[in-house]
Amino acid sequence: MNWTTTFLTQPVSWVNPEMPDKPIGDYIGGLVQHSPLNNVAVWQIEDKHWQQFAITAVAENLRWIASWAEQADKQFIVNACFEKQGIYIVLRTVINATKPELPSQATVYPAANRSERHTQDMFGIHFIGHPDNRRWTRHQAWDKHQYPLRKDFPVQGEPPSITPPDTNYDFVKGYGAGVYEIPVGPVHAGIIEPGHFRFQAVGELILNLEERLGYVHKGIEKIAEGRTPDSLARLAGRISGDTTVSHCWAACMAMEQAAGVSVPNRALFIRGIVAERERIANHLGDMGAICNDVAFTFAQMQFTRLRELWLRTNATVFGHRLLMDVIVPAGVSRDVSELSCELLKQDIVMLKKELSEIMPSIDLNSSLEDRLYTAGYLSPEIAAAFGTVGYVGRASGQDFDVRRDAVYPPYNQVTVKVALEDQGDIASRFWVRYKEINASLKLIEQFINLLPKGDISMPWITPSTDSEGLGIVDGFRGEIISYVRFGDDNKIARFYPRDPSIVNWPALEKLVLGNIVPDFPVCNKSLNGSYSGNDL
């Protein structure tokens, strides 16, 4: 396998530095591969320089965004992805499978912590110097010496008749006069997915929070192996049900890059329309839920009503309330007629009018203001350190949006207005959502007006063995990364999707500090991490 020439199906420039003295930025101009979809650079370095690269990268203000591994014969290929000013760098190294170990980047980038623990559990790769090597994904579903993403692990696994309870996880302990623990979950009173939260508190004041996720681990990466492009697209659309459009789009984008397939312009505009409708539906639901968590039921009922009307139009125009399977490899599965376009425009007019009547009652509500303003504060410094994205990052001054900064069609034909706040509290995360709704309404209107005639899909081209692609799109929670490599016969050899929740969840442990325990539900909802998107 020639790992030096396959990424994005184009030859790339590599460096194998003895960690050069000059800044990383000095290399970017000669190494970036420009394409209509992404700006991507791919560098391979020796494994001994893995951590030193991270030290240099953080000094150069590169954002750590994802890492994944893959087994190839008697080696492991480990990748990490970084971003700066819309330019993406994929760092790659190769390590021996006999004693797989690699210096940890989590000592430099807190965002890498859980991702490296996931790789540890799934491949058995030891990250030297990792600040927290407790198991993360494994729980008790397989033996500690078994690694599900290795090639010799069967897809059905070897589960015991009864999986033992996960009772021995070593949570951080709190000590001191009056300090007590509060275990919450993994089963919750509502209809949300399972996740465990362990608090240390004095009175009602939260001193520490530790998350324990992974209860809905589905084996997405394992069951993706051997799938056809159509089958992988359907799987990607089910990684996190509320983000079916964006995850599917990212996976299809990666596959289309690998195969060298061009998507028709009409299909690209339809993709943009459904992605923004997905964003709006989720923001409406979140805004209502935030209000509900502080007992402002009127607002929750209104936002829920508006979301329901929005979803009914989805079903009428695109055949599915949540827009599942509208995006397919090389195009879309549903066209939009002139009548449908008029219906979508009526939706825009309706939602603008409704919001203009509802928002003043929220903005002028002093009791709501008391609960949301200054609560759940996430400083810009911590938001940057954890690489937070989407409304979580943008509410804390992180001015980044893939649609604008690493633009992809059809966003390259419009102006994307990025909502930004810098107060970093629950109110900021609420208002960023509202601003994004308004921006998305304008985008949908522009996409409809610019909608070109033509086909909605193209014939699929079977990619060559080992061709790779990296899909990067902006979902409602923020930046989504999808990596795909093809094996033989048009079958998927490796698929790794990174949901925004993977980098956003750790921020919850920070933003609740100093708040009172009763404010945790609304702090949590203001972040709204996806359990399913995190628990691959």
Residue 532, pLDDT score: 94
Kindly state whether residues 272 and 382 are assigned to the same domain.
yes
By three-state DSSP, how is residue 119 classified? helix
* pLDDT band at residue 3 using 50, 70 and 90 as cut-offs: very low
Could you tell me the pTM of the whole model?
0.90
Among the candidates 93, 128, 163, a domain finishes at 128
Task: Identify whether residues 230 and 112 lie together within a single domain.
Answer: no
Whether residue 175 is contained in a domain is answered as no
pLDDT surpassing 80 at residue 7: no
What does the pLDDT read at residue 9? 32
Sign of the CA dihedral running 378, 383, 386, 389: positive
Checking if the pLDDT of 1 tops 70, the result is no
Enter the tokens of residue 230: 């159509």
Q: Across residues 320-328, what is the average pLDDT?
A: 96
**Does any domain span residue 215?**
no
Q: Binning pLDDT at 50, 70 and 90, where does residue 342 land?
A: very high
Residues across the chain:
536
- Whether 472 shows a pLDDT value over 90: the answer reads yes
Is 119 found in the same domain as 263?
Answer: no
pLDDT of amino acid 161: 79
Note whether 432 and 419 are within 8 A (CB): yes
- When the pLDDT of each residue in the chain is averaged and rounded to a whole number, the result is 89
For 115, the domain range is 7-128
For residue 332, what are the β-bridge partners?
A: 327
- Predicted confidence at residue 142, as pLDDT, reads 86
Using alpha carbons only, give the angle 41, 46, 51 rounded to the nearest 5 degrees: 85
On whether the CB atoms of residues 262 and 268 are closer than 8 A, the answer is no
| 363-401 pLDDT tens trace | 888 889 989 999 999 999 999 999 999 999 999 999 999
User: How many other β-carbons are positioned within 10 Å of the β-carbon of residue 214?
Assistant: 25
The per-residue pLDDT for range 113-144, each reduced to its tens digit, is 999 999 999 999 999 999 998 888 888 888 88
Q: Are residue 307 and residue 415 in the same domain, yes or no?
A: yes
Phi, psi angles (nearest 5°) of residue 278: -65, -40
Q: Which residue has the higher pLDDT, 67 or 26?
A: 67
More confidently predicted of 44 and 430: 430
In a domain, 449, yes or no: yes
Q: Select from 128, 152, 180 the last residue of a domain.
A: 128
Largest CA distance in the chain: 71
| Closest to 396 (Cα-Cα) out of 425, 375, 376, 371 | 425
C-alpha to C-alpha distances, 32 to 27, 127, 253, 324, nearest whole angstrom: 9, 28, 19, 34
For residue 192, the one-letter residue type is I
The string of pLDDT tens digits covering residues 197-237 is 999 999 999 999 999 999 889 999 999 999 999 999 999 99
| 240-254 burial: b if 16+ Cβ within 10 Å, else e | bebbbbbbbbbbbbb
Instruction: Say which range, 21-25, 336-340, 350-354, 359-363, has the weakest mean pLDDT.
Output: 21-25
- Name which of 476, 474, 378 is nearest 422 in CA terms: 378
Note the pLDDT tens digit of each residue in 294-307. 999 999 999 999 99
Any idea what the CATH number is for the domain that residue 89 is in?
3.30.460.80
- The verdict on 434 and 326 lying in the same domain is yes
DSSP 3-state of 135: coil
Of 137, 143, 194, 145, nearest in space to 169 by CA: 137
What pLDDT, on the 0 to 100 scale, is given for residue 260?
92
Q: CATH number, domain at 521?
A: 1.10.645.10
In this structure, what DSSP letter does residue 406 have?
Answer: T
The structural domain count of the chain equals: 2
Q: Does residue 363 sit within a domain?
A: yes
What integer is the mean pLDDT of 177-183?
Answer: 92
Q: Which pLDDT does position 10 carry in this prediction?
A: 34
Could you tell me if residue 35 is inside a domain? Answer: yes
Give 167 or 182, the one with higher predicted confidence.
182
What's the CA gap between 485 and 493, in Å, rounded? 6
Q: Which two tokens stand for residue 7?
A: 């990424």
The lowest-confidence range among 152-161, 226-235, 239-248, 459-468 is 152-161
- For residue 343, what pLDDT is reported? 97
Looking at residue 42, what is its pLDDT? 81
Quick one: tokens of 150?
């290795």
Residues 239 and 123 in one domain: no
Specify the pLDDT at position 190.
Answer: 74
- Residue 179's Cβ-side half-sphere holds a number of Cα atoms within 13 Å equal to 12
* Domain membership flag for residue 195: no
* 8 Å CB contact between 70 and 450: no
Report d(CA 430, CA 436) in Å as an integer.
10
Cα dihedral sign for 52, 53, 59, 61? negative
- Separation CA 120–CA 136 (nearest Å): 9
Domain end point (choices 108, 128, 148): 128
Residue 174 included in any domain: no
